[in-house]
Structure 1
Amino acid sequence: MSINIKSNILKYIFRNVYFINGTAYAGKSTMVKLLSEKYDGIMCGVNYHFNLMNAINKVDQPNLSYFETMKDWQEFIGRTPEEYDNWIIGCGEEATDLEIVRLIQLAEQGKKVFVDTNISVEVLKEISDYHHVAVMLCPQSMSVDRFFERQDQEKQFILKQIKRTIISWI
């Protein structure tokens, strides 16, 4: 069963929600933080929908469930670029449902909500006012060349797994 909520209803619910989408290193998280502080709003940083991850299952959200089904981290790292790209796109599509549900919850609080999101621009056109969406970009070379310079735990963990894999190949 699939439940569809008409876009006019979501646009109404999200009338105080502002979305920022874009590439890594573009400053989305920083902008969301600054806007939420300036306007005494709610900040939805990366993965703000994780409180709903217990609702997913391997059949309906296979991409979001990947970490439960993978054999080991070498399998994760050893995927082809096409496999990785398909997984990223699939995760984004599956996470959209979780993000929308979480945003409906937050919108009820009556404050402005500022969202660092990966919801596709096509979906954002349907659920949000045109003037409530910003797309921030940085040069691709910057996000590729400097990706692992970030100190967040997830990126450093992946870098460690890559190094471990390379050492095992030598």
Structure 2
Amino acid sequence: MAGSDPTMEAITAAVVRGRGGDVDGARSDLEALWSEIGVGGDPFHRCTLAHYLADLYDDAAVALVWDVRALDAADALGDERAQQHHASLQVAAFYPSLHLNLADNFRRLGSFDAAADHLARAEDRCTALPDDAYGEMIRSAVADVRRAVVARSTERRGSAPGP
């Protein structure tokens, strides 16, 4: 990490809190941070926060709102800013996961055409993913969501992140 970033530290602490079982507390922490950052704030902070906050909602419509915010922030984000957090980050590698999450939310809401569109976008961008466990996890989830779209399933995936 290039330097201290209190906002990223607070986002990370909230994510850890949520993964530790305090989903309500994590949501509250992240929503308070969102209010501080604002819709015009640092796109890296907005993207990261919204991406993680979406995972804390079981309601696909609410998660969709946060995932759209994460995608919008990624569109305003450049590699230089992301690399201030960690030198290895490439914004292009964010998009497969962002589109995957949108596809999964649309699928769970029964909007299969929109889900298929975002799946195609995720698949097109999977080449930006590293050949590691993270990249494989995203590729596998894209395939899982693709199967669920074909089956017209709106059931939550067992492997989906969330509460």
In terms of fraction of residues, the more helix-rich structure is: 2
| Rg larger in structure | 1
| Higher-RCO chain (CA-CA 8 Å, sequence separation at least 6) | 1
Judge same fold: TM > 0.5, yes or no.
no
Give the TM interval when normalised to the shorter protein. under 0.3
User: Which structure carries more strand by proportion?
Assistant: 1
TM-score normalised to structure 1 length: 0.25
